[in-house]
Chains A and B, each alone.
Chain A
Amino acid sequence: MLDFDPVSLSRLQFGMTALYHFLFVPLTLGLSFLLAIMESVYVMTGRPIWRDMTKFWGKLFGINFAMGVATGITMEFQFGTNWAYYSHYVGDIFGAPLAIEGLMAFFLESSFVGLFFFGWNRLSKTGHLAVTWLVAIGSNLSALWILIANGWMQNPVGAVFNPDTMRMELTSFWELMFNPVAQAKFVHTVSAGYVTGSVFMLSVSAYYLLKGRHLAFAKRSMIVASAFGLASALSVVVLGDESGYSVSEHQKMKLAAIEAMWETEEAPAGFTLFAIPDVQNRTNHEEVKVPWALGLIATRSTDTVLPGIDDLVVKAEERIRDGLIAYDALERLRANRADAEARATLAAHADNLGHALLLKRYLADPRKADDATIAKAARDTVPGVGPLFWSFRVMVALGFFFIGLFAVAFWRSCRRNFDHPLFLKICLWSMPLPWLAAELGWFVAEYGRQPWSIDGVLPTFLGVSSVSSGQVLFTLTGFVLFYSSLAVVDVVLMRKYVRMGPSEALRPGHGAVSPTPAE
């Protein structure tokens, strides 16, 4: 399946570096708010243990934050390095939220994070608290603008194709900003980050309680984590981003693929709890269904019909044929810029121009496509059903597990009783689960977007730079080696600091070496 062409290699590199970056982002989002909450308690009560909690969790936050920043630069640069045609084609729209992210959010977060670590003795109590809150707000605003950019890839609103510049151009910044898909994604993603931060804190605290160390510290951390975690876990599931899946054709296709729903069902559709999707025969085996559930979740109504994959493919074929009219008009316009008739025809059919571009995978000139090729291109609009079906189900199951976990933790917090070894062990071993859920969520959203990089506008394979396979293979190998080593160092340091615990890690004089030459 994998070819060593620049498109496949660049996709692999982007996917891997994004998944890697997303190991650090959710914890930053969650821990930054947890730090702000703990420090607020410190400022309100004046009890030093809350300051120490903020400082100790802050150390772990710092290690993670550095990795998040480091791997984030890669994400921004890669659009230009590996997806140059994408950058040209949609930079007019997509670049704006990225730039505003830097201006409004990342500057805020990064300027104050230094004061968070270095400002304890230089700022008043409330001054430092304000700094901590600004870091948390900055990192969450950062997520907002990144998801506005990503939401536009899923549902490209407020833009139109301009034949003179051969690219998409912004028509409404307002629509871009208030894109319903982006809004749904933002709430879902930051909530998932809060869950990650809370599970991390719960898990590390459970480790101390199991070892009988730092009891006062661990119990208080557990209380904070379980309250914040319960609210966040409910928010992730209730405000999941399926609500965005009904707004466009391809989002509908993604939903149908996630559900392995080959044929259109009568509303409200049932939710398939278990099935073995059979892509070849376009059907499922061993299906177990919950009636009505999917229709209610996805459409928030009992009478909206959710189209199945087969019907959506038929629709895609119609759009390709219509897109060919636009493509032909564009070619005529490029030959003669004064051709008013071609310009009008293009404008009338421009919404489907992207579908004609799907044919470029098979032919340099889409207008020469025969019926079989058009049918093939229409089938290309179906993303990989099996991986989506299962990733989504594991993610949702984890989401419900977190609600249960935090409900029990919260109940135990209210009774101030954590002495239950099995409960503590479950907390401890739950540590990797939010990361698994978050990565699966990213996979469902982005793999489910295929074959498009911009839904209905630009197929992924067209967006690539004119770089050679050798170049991409070189950087891909570099990233794999480099990122793997960094991951090892990161985990070693995290473990070391967790094992050290707050009293040791915060002791003055820790980490000193004798002033000998460094070489």
Chain B
Amino acid sequence: MHTLIDYEILRLIWWLFLGVLLIGFAVMDGFDLGVAALLPFVARTDVERRVAINSIGPVWEGNQVWLILGAGAIFAAWPAIYAAAFSGFYIALFLVLATLILRPVGFEFRNKLANPRWRAFWDWALFASGLVPSLVFGVAFGNLLQGVPFRIDGALRVAYEGGGLFELLNPFGLLAGLVSLVMLTTHGALYLALKTEGRVRDRARAYVRVGAPVMVALFALAGLWVAFGIPGYALTKAAVMDGPSNPLFKEAARQPGAWLANYTAYPWMVAAPAVGLLAPLAAWRLSARDRPGTAFIASGLGIAGVIGTAGVSMFPFLMPSNLDPSASLTVWDASSSQNTLFVMLVATLIFLPIVLAYTGFVFRTLRGTISPADVERQTNSLY
């Protein structure tokens, strides 16, 4: 059955799905992360904080599954990436994990006691649970673009030389982290503008006025840095696109300007950075004109543009090695077997539409805004 679709086509599909899942996570759970990171700034009193928290309270749990599914799909479709990335970013991922663990318990525990110090503690926990993952995921992308210090031995075991947490926090890594943080907080602020009433909404809109243009500026700066300051990677021998997934069977090298090569070869790919630059500006304008719904959609498009830019710039590379470029992991040699990719494709085509359908149903059921009066009236059935 697995010969129904060619191996290289399956690999391309799964490269696209990888993008879809990352964008799905950033768009859907991104606004939850953004709201949490903005919590101390857009909401000052307990009632205001509960307005912000309850705007995402019923949906964040489902949204978080985009992360779980993203990791699971990388494990299933790109096991080499899963192995190399998760072990390489060891301490950084522990920080993400620790703060992500604070999130469910923060939401659930905060309202269980009325003590203001108890609530203030969980407010800080929720703040950290939004800030740290938003930042670290960006830092990870920044480091992928620069290449990561690993080698692969004959048994295909990945070993790192350096690459600890502080090395990840290099200038470009930090810039990418900031792009991610400002992008997700702006997205979260637009969600608050759409779903809340009162002062939380006002402050959220004020944040968008600054956040959206800053994000565009940072993204443009990162783009210029990649174009002129960061050498990319290129295959030095044509890849066997339907060959076995063994990274050691190819040759690659580090080359200045290589991350721009795809835009010359396939000019339509410029659409990704263009959307990444223009959509947030559209969101900014729409928000100023008090059209939060379309602004939120524009912001989601912007996120897709930014993540898409990283993807097409690096293609076919997924995780370059700066110690041994030929050991880099690419679309053509880091995937699962043809059989597994096919089975996973069938599973995705069956279940993803169902997921999207009931996610739509959940959001429709919960439509409308949440006001300070709502949270004061329903102290018991809300967070």
Contact = CB atoms under 8 A, between A and B. Distances in A.
A166 interface: yes
Given A107-B62, A111-B359, A516-B45, A102 B68 contact: yes
A1 interface: no
Given A94-B75, A95-B72, A81 B112 contact: no
Contacts of A508: 378-380
A502 to B, nearest CB: 12
Contact of B158 (A88, A120, A510): A88
A516 B46 CA distance: 6
Contact-residue bracket for chain A: 35 or more
Given A95-B76, A510-B379, A466 B160 contact: yes
Q: Which of B91, B336, B376 has the most CB of A within 10 A?
A: B336
Given A87-B82, A493-B112, A518-B119, A70 B104 contact: yes
A290 to B, nearest CB: 44
Contacts of B97: 73-74, 77
A262 B45 CA distance: 68
A420 B277 CA distance: 72
Given A88-B83, A91-B83, A475-B94, A69 B57 contact: no
B163 to A, nearest CB: 11
A508 B158 CA distance: 57
B262 interface: no
A475 B380 CA distance: 37
A66 B104 contact: yes
A518 B120 contact: yes
Contact of B340 (A169, A486, A511): A169
A76 B352 CA distance: 20
A316 B139 CA distance: 48
A99 interface: yes
A71 B68 CA distance: 12
B298 interface: no
Nearest to B111: A511
A103 B358 CA distance: 12
Contacts of A518: 44-46, 49, 116, 119-120, 123
B45 A84 contact: no
B376 A120 contact: no
A343 to B, nearest CB: 13
Interface of A: 62-63, 65-67, 69-74, 76-77, 79-82, 84-85, 87-88, 91-96, 98-104, 106-108, 110-115, 117-123, 162, 164-167, 169-171, 173, 334, 465-467, 471, 474-475, 478, 482, 486, 489-490, 493, 496-497, 506-513, 515-519
Interface of B: 44-47, 49, 57-62, 64-65, 67-69, 71-77, 79-80, 82-87, 90-91, 93-94, 97-98, 100-105, 107-109, 111-116, 119-120, 123, 154-160, 244-246, 336-337, 339-340, 343-344, 347-348, 351-352, 355, 358-359, 362, 365-366, 376, 378-382
